[in-house]
Amino acid sequence: MAYVEEGSKTVDAGVNTMMKAMRYDYLYWHLNSKSNKEVGELRDVNKKMIAEFNENLDYTVGKKYIKVVEKTGGVKCFVVNCENDKKFPIGTILKPAGWASPARNFSRGNVLEGKYKISWTGA
């Protein structure tokens, strides 16, 4: 799990920082797998998987949320992208409840404040 120490000045920059941490966490996960530790380096299949993950991680901007997705399918998280949310401040990271909406039970961090943990699997 990657730890993001500092926040960002804009939500867009914060989402990009979070996605960078997710990519790092995916690389770290592969580096620490038992089969790669035995060999002492990444195997070709792992290099391919990492390249595909990095290429397919993206986000879309909606009316209220930024949705972080894998282009091949799956929502990683949502980020509040409006000032008038009744429960959460702008930049709040939310776990997905499904493809179209976040779980609004509690915050998983804030991209503007930093100091949150993020995994390659999402919030």
Nearest by Cα to 102 from 110, 92, 117? 92
Domain total of the chain = 1
Domain that holds residue 113: 2-118
List the pLDDT tens digit at each of the 123 positions of the chain: 777 877 778 999 999 999 999 999 999 888 887 766 666 778 889 899 999 999 999 999 999 999 999 998 899 999 999 999 999 999 999 999 999 999 999 999 999 999 899 999 988
62 within a domain of the structure (yes/no): yes
C-alpha distances in angstroms, 61 versus 14, 20, 64, 120? 13, 18, 8, 20
Query: 22 is written with which tokens?
Result: 């997710």
Cβ distance 59 to 43 under 8 Å? Answer: no
Residue 89 lies in a domain: yes
Write the DSSP string, 41-74. S--HHHHHHHHHHHHHEEEEE-SSEEEEEETTS-
Residue 21: inside a domain, yes or no? yes
In this prediction, residue 38 carries a pLDDT of 67
Tokens of 29: 């996960």
User: Does some domain include residue 123?
Assistant: no
Whether residue 28 is contained in a domain is answered as yes
Distance CA 99, CA 63 (A): 15
